[in-house]
């Protein structure tokens, strides 16, 4: 399948997932920058609160429950599933404030929500969608967005959550929640509206899990747009240079240079390993694979995110 | 440097904890193999190994148990005589077995196991995974067939997700709140009845009458096993706090993982769990990078273009090494801290695991 920038930007909701530690947040934010570059407003949504002052790519504001600009054209918000649940109840069932307060305070009800797995998660996904589409509704007051980018939990947690709608539908044969779940299923499974972007890394463990994840997402019936292989080692050397490195590696008079040449050699080997896993992914996937080079920095900055965005764009065909 | 030799020789239980993606399963496997090769009857209890690692550990596709035979250990370079038993955590099966173990009668157990709510969602309730990891550990310990059990835990952000899960889940299932709900609805009258009925109707409005019925049936039945489950959870906690257990924190040097490790050290200490060591996995191998002066040190390299590329590479690796040293300093652990450098090949076979043993053992 040819990858197309227009395809990516045309979705309302992009769900970014992948194994823990591969760089989901960086890729999610890079996709936000890609939107911004094309003059489109996007909302970055996370389920992890980022307190003001803690490291977040050098953005000062962090991410909390108030939607606020992260950079030009990019807003960010943190969704607390408990708060989303309260809001859902208030809006859908209890319009009278005192009743709402009394019901939410009851331990019984709290227990009920704890023991009904998926309820909170599904309401959270519903809320993410809601934020993204509110510009299309009349009498809506909030900011309208062209795209919502959902920095979803890692694979281990994501599959059970994405699997939930069908589980819940099997169990709940009636009730308002069933119609909520049907609605969630509706937009999740609409390939024109929603797509999953999987983040991976060129490592054995990660590649295996990536292939499993993509199978699982597809079997649920949700469209996978492409896979981003992050942190790939790139070989910067020409063939002649490689030969020179091998020759000089053990015959150099300067110990410092020798050490550096050995690093260069191991870097080349790693680049080969990266290529091997990238090819494995390409072989196993019909959908596109984008490659992002490893950035030798511990803390990425907004300009690194823009760089990742430009690398993604360069590998996507088409335009908007 | 103090290594983990004593740990694999003396302890009965080693629990590996850490954030997702740091290599817990790998480290747990290295430890279990070492203990087995030293002749201890060892069980590796693992959560979700990669396919290739699972194969290396003798878990064929779909199998819940496996072993690494003496012959295969020898081929990988282990000199001892032992072999390693491996078990994969199956949340649902462990839950079923737990229910059967503590039920007062076969009838009660089969009613719970057949319940629709239990069957479709009980293993997805928050904490079920962690709870069953602990139960699987405890029941393996109870069996008494092993000298040492090495546990690889589900990835968690917070220690409480892992260690408080059993009691939290128990309190959800054993909720007086939920049971009294139905009882009150039946027994009460007047205003109280009006309110509870309204609330019940409210829940019914959300999930429908079938779910309410299934849950009611489950929670009623759960009462018969509740005490037994709680007692086992408490015994498991006691075991984990005893001197025969040891926690190993596995981390890498990323910001998030270091922050988690700092929190965990504090929490484990304040709750009196014994900590064995911190394993810092996959560190940059070039910590001892010499300072390079491009103009002088690289003058023997013929082409200018290559010199520039090498200088660029140097800058990247140096930056990473410096950042890691800084992160390690931030961690400043009071426990034994064992760095395991990243190696060029992937850790997939027994030989690769054997290759890591020198970093952990003397």
Residues of B within 8 A of A252 (CB-CB) are 300
Check whether B289 has a pLDDT greater than 80. no
A39 to each of A35, A42, A140, how far by Cα in Å?
Answer: 6, 10, 22
Q: Which of A48, A298, A300 is nearest to B328 (CA)?
A: A298
Tokens of residue B277, six digits: 């060591």
Residues of A within 8 A of B324 (CB-CB) are 298
Given B20, B155, B199, which is nearest A108 (Cβ)?
Answer: B199
**Chain B residues 79-108 with a CB less than 8 Å from chain A:** none
Residue A137's CB: how many other CB atoms inside 10 A?
10
Helix (H, G, I), strand (E, B) or coil at A78: strand
| Band of pLDDT at residue B1, cut at 50, 70 and 90 | very low
Residues of A within 8 A of B300 (CB-CB) are 248, 252-254, 257
| Band of pLDDT at residue B2, cut at 50, 70 and 90 | low
B311-357 pLDDT per residue, tens? 889 888 888 888 888 888 888 888 999 999 887 666 678 999 999 99
Rounded Cα distance between B255 and B244, Å, is 32
Do the chains contact at A174 and B206, CB–CB below 8 Å? no
Chain A to chain B Cβ contacts (< 8 Å): 194
Rounded Cα distance between B313 and B116, Å, is 59
Rounded Cα distance between A296 and A305, Å, is 13
Q: Which residue has the tokens 């509110």?
A: A134
Cα atoms in the Cβ-side hemisphere of radius 13 Å centred on B229: 26
Residue A153's CB: how many other CB atoms inside 10 A?
19
pLDDT of residue A1: 47
Rounded Cα distance between A233 and A240, Å, is 19
Residues of B within 8 A of A260 (CB-CB) are 292, 297-298, 310, 313-314
CB contact B321 to A (< 8 Å): no
Do the chains contact at A259 and B298, CB–CB below 8 Å? no
CB contact B291 to A (< 8 Å): yes
Tokens of residue B172, six digits: 């959800």
| Band of pLDDT at residue B272, cut at 50, 70 and 90 | very high
Do the chains contact at A241 and B305, CB–CB below 8 Å? yes
- Contact status, residue B17 vs residue B250, Cβ threshold 8 Å: yes
What is the 8-class DSSP label of residue A294? P
Do the chains contact at B177 and A115, CB–CB below 8 Å? no
Give the mean pLDDT of B237-263.
91
Given A19, A114, A170, which is nearest B21 (Cβ)?
Answer: A19
Share of chain A above pLDDT 70, in %: 89
CB contact B200 to A (< 8 Å): no
Tokens of residue A7, six digits: 């395809």
Residues of A within 8 A of B121 (CB-CB) are 116-118, 167, 171
Q: Which of B3, B4, B28 is nearest to B16 (CA)?
A: B28
Give the dihedral sign, CA A145/A151/A155/A159.
negative
CB contact B124 to A (< 8 Å): yes
Best residue in A47, A86, A170, A205 for a mutation probing chain B (most B CBs within 10 Å): A205
Do the chains contact at A236 and B309, CB–CB below 8 Å? yes
Q: Which of A260, A236, A202, A272 is nearest to B286 (CA)?
A: A260
Q: Which residue of B has its CA nearest to A167?
A: B120
Q: Which of A157, A209, A200, A158 is nearest to A21 (CA)?
A: A200
CB contact B53 to A (< 8 Å): yes
Q: Which residue has the tokens 């462990």?
A: B94
- Contact status, residue B166 vs residue B105, Cβ threshold 8 Å: no
Do the chains contact at B316 and A296, CB–CB below 8 Å? yes
A86-140 pLDDT per residue, tens? 888 877 776 666 666 666 666 666 777 777 767 788 889 999 998 888 877 767 6
What are φ and ψ of residue B137, in 5° steps? -60, -50
Q: Which of B356, B200, B189 is nearest to B283 (CA)?
A: B356
Best residue in B167, B201, B206 for a mutation probing chain A (most A CBs within 10 Å): B206
A206-265 pLDDT per residue, tens? 888 899 899 989 998 999 999 999 999 999 999 999 998 888 877 766 777 888 888 898
Give the mean pLDDT of A73-86.
92
DSSP H helical ranges for A93-202: 97-105, 107-115, 119-133, 155-171, 176-188
Q: Is A286 or A123 the better-scoring residue by pLDDT?
A: A123
CB contact B316 to A (< 8 Å): yes
B161-183 pLDDT per residue, tens? 778 877 777 877 776 655 655 66
Render B258-273 in DSSP notation, one character per residue.
HHHHHHHHHHHHHTT-
Do the chains contact at A156 and B20, CB–CB below 8 Å? yes
Do the chains contact at A20 and B319, CB–CB below 8 Å? no
pLDDT of residue B164: 81
Do the chains contact at B19 and A20, CB–CB below 8 Å? yes
Given B48, B116, B302, which is nearest A244 (Cβ)?
Answer: B302
Given B209, B255, B313, which is nearest A264 (Cβ)?
Answer: B313
Check whether A192 has a pLDDT greater than 70. yes
pLDDT of residue B353: 92
Q: What is the mean pLDDT of chain B?
A: 85
Give the dihedral sign, CA A140/A83/A50/A26.
negative
CB contact B313 to A (< 8 Å): yes
Given B177, B324, B347, which is nearest A107 (Cβ)?
Answer: B177
Do the chains contact at A171 and B121, CB–CB below 8 Å? yes
Share of chain B above pLDDT 90, in %: 43
B203-244 pLDDT per residue, tens? 777 777 777 788 778 888 888 898 899 899 999 999 999 999
Residues of A within 8 A of B182 (CB-CB) are none
- Contact status, residue B2 vs residue B231, Cβ threshold 8 Å: no
């Amino acid at each position: 399948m040819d990858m197309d920038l227009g395809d990516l930007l045309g979705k309302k909701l992009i769900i970014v997932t992948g194994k823990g530690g591969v760089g989901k947040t960086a890729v999610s934010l890079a996709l936000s920058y890609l939107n911004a570059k094309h003059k489109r407003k996007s909302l970055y949504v996370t389920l992890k609160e980022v307190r003001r002052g803690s490291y977040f790519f050098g953005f000062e504001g962090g991410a909390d429950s108030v939607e606020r600009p992260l950079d030009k054209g990019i807003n960010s918000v943190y969704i607390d599933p408990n708060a989303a649940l309260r809001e859902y109840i208030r809006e859908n069932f209890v319009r009278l404030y005192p009743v709402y307060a009394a019901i939410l305070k009851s331990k019984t009800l709290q227990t009920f929500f704890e023991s009904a797995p998926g309820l909170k998660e599904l309401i959270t996904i519903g809320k993410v969608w809601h934020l993204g589409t509110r510009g299309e509704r009349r009498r809506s007051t909030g900011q309208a967005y062209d795209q919502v980018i959902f920095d979803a939990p890692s694979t281990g947690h994501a599959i059970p959550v994405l699997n939930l709608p069908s589980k819940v539908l099997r169990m709940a044969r009636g009730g308002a929640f069933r119609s909520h779940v049907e609605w969630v299923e509706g937009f999740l499974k609409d390939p024109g509206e929603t797509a999953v972007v999987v983040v991976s890394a060129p490592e054995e463990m990660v590649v295996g899990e990536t292939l499993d994840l993509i199978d699982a997402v597809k079997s649920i019936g949700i469209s996978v747009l492409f896979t981003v292989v992050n942190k790939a080692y790139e070989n910067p050397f020409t063939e002649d240079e490689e030969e020179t490195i091998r020759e000089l590696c053990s015959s150099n008079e300067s110990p410092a240079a020798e050490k550096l040449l050995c690093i260069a050699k191991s870097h080349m080997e790693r680049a080969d390993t990266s290529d091997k896993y990238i090819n494995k992914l390409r072989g196993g996937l019909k959908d596109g694979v984008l490659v992002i080079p490893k950035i030798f920095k511990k803390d990425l900055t907004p300009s690194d995110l823009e760089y990742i965005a430009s690398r993604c764009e360069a590998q996507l065909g088409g335009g908007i | 440097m103090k290594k983990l030799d004593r740990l694999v020789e003396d302890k009965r239980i080693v629990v590996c904890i850490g954030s997702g993606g740091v290599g817990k399963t790998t480290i747990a496997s290295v430890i279990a193999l070492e203990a087995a090769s030293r002749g201890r009857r060892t069980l590796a209890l693992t959560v979700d190994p990669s396919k290739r690692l699972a194969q290396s550990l003798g878990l064929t596709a779909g199998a819940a148990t496996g072993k690494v035979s003496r012959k295969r250990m020898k081929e990988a370079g282990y000199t001892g005589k032992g072999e390693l038993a491996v078990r994969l955590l199956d949340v649902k099966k462990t839950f079923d077995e737990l229910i059967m173990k503590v039920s007062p009668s076969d009838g009660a157990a089969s009613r719970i196991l057949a319940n629709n709510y239990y069957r479709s969602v009980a293993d997805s309730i928050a904490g079920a995974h962690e709870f069953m990891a602990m139960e699987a550990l405890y029941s393996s310990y109870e069996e008494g067939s092993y000298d040492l059990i090495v546990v690889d835990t589900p990835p968690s952000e917070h220690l409480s997700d892992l260690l408080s899960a059993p009691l939290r889940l128990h309190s959800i299932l054993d909720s007086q709140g939920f049971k009294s709900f139905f009882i009150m609805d039946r027994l009460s009258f007047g205003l109280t009845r009006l309110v509870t009925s309204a609330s019940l109707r409210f829940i019914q409005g959300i999930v429908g009458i079938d779910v309410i019925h299934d849950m009611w049936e489950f929670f009623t039945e759960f009462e018969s096993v509740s005490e037994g489950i709680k007692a086992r959870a408490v015994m498991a906690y006691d075991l984990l706090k005893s001197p025969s257990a040891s926690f190993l924190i596995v981390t890498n040097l990323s910001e998030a993982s270091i922050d988690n490790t700092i929190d965990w050290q504090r929490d484990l200490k304040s709750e009196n769990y014994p900590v064995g060591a911190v394993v810092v996995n996959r560190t940059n191998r070039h910590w001892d990078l010499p300072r390079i002066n491009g103009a002088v040190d690289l003058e023997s390299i013929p082409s200018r273009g290559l010199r520039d590329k090498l200088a660029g590479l140097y800058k990247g690796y140096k930056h990473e090494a410096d950042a890691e040293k800084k992160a390690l300093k931030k961690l400043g652990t009071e426990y034994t801290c064992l760095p395991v450098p990243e190696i060029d090949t992937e850790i997939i076979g027994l030989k690769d695991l054997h290759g890591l043993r020198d970093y952990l053992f003397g």
